[in-house]
Amino acid sequence: MGRRLSVIFLCFMLPLFIVSCSAASEKQIVKFAKEKYGEATLIKTEESGDEKTVCYFEDKEYGFEYYVTSYMNEILIDGSSFGSTENKGSNFDIQYYNYINEVVGSDVSMLEQKYNIDISVSDGTYIYYFARIYYKSSNTANVSTVTKEISDLYTAIDTRNYWKDLVVEAYDEDGNYLGSYHQGKSGWMTTEDEYDMKYIDEIANLSDDATYLRKEQHLFTETGVNIQDVVQVLGNPEVKENSMVTYYIFIVDGQEYYMCDFMVHDDIGGFEWYTTYNK
């Protein structure tokens, strides 16, 4: 019966995969680039039949160049081909990031001298921070001021708010992480602030009507959860019977609930943060 169902499933799925598909046209790529990256001038287009189209652009605001490519990827399942699907790629992120770094370069050097710090930028492999600062002395009292100044340099240029989620990270003279400045959220956040924000964001995902109130420390046993149901989370302290856990207390429709900083198995074979709120 299982084999028959597998055959039926594949026969049903086959028409979904085997479709006539080609790389996006120049017109489609231009539209995509404008919506995702902003106004730009098309410089040239290169096409390789139906398999690949590459459009080169000049950013209208700042003049740096980048490309957007559309290409075909073959769909392979258990060694069998089920047609191809169209994908897009671009080097816009690194080109824009490099441009901003070039513009703020002299100001960054001045801040290094002013605050006795080293400032490093991303190598472009994966851009998730504007910059990282490393203190050369034990005095880190001005960390919130320093990280804000650096963040302001970048965001003043990023007028289209493309990098709104990027941060400036800070480390002490021994390389220990201190926290980061979040331009789009709450400004300077310590490691504890960032830890808490993770759960506050999770609470917001539970309900549009949820309002975070406060956090409290309680013994794990007070939750009533069986320790066998706990899922240990990489980066979080190990939870034991005598552990203290954090309650993030919130309110929905006048009723208080809490979410804890540990995970439990759910009803469908996965896991979730433990909470007394039932969707």
Q: Cα(38)–Cα(62) distance, rounded to whole angstroms?
A: 11
Q: How far apart are alpha carbons 176 and 17 in whole angstroms? A: 49
H, E, C per residue of 30-93: HHHHHHHHCCEEEEEEEEECCCEEEEEEEECCCCCEEEEEEEEEEEEECCEEEEEEEEEEECHH
* Alpha carbon distances (Å) from 223 to 61, 197, 239, 249: 55, 21, 12, 13
Higher pLDDT, 146 or 22: 146
pLDDT at 234: 86
What's residue 78's pLDDT?
Answer: 58
Instruction: Flag whether pLDDT at 14 surpasses 70.
Output: no
Closest CA to 164 of 151, 173, 174, 176: 151
**Cα dihedral 223→229→230→231 (10° resolution):** -150
pLDDT bracket for residue 84 (50, 70, 90): low
Confidence of residue 58 (pLDDT cuts 50, 70, 90): very high
User: Is the pLDDT at 16 greater than 70, yes or no?
Assistant: no
Q: Residue 179 pLDDT more than 50? A: yes
- What is the C-alpha to C-alpha distance for residues 105 and 103, in angstroms, rounded to an integer? 6
A 10 A CB-CB count for 167 gives 22
| Residues 17, 171: Cα–Cα separation, whole Å | 49
Query: pTM (2 decimals)?
Result: 0.77
pLDDT digits (tens, 9 = 90+) for 235-271: 888 999 999 999 999 999 999 999 999 999 987 878 9
84 versus 48: which is more confidently predicted? Answer: 48
Per-residue pLDDT, 256: 97
Amino acid at 100: I
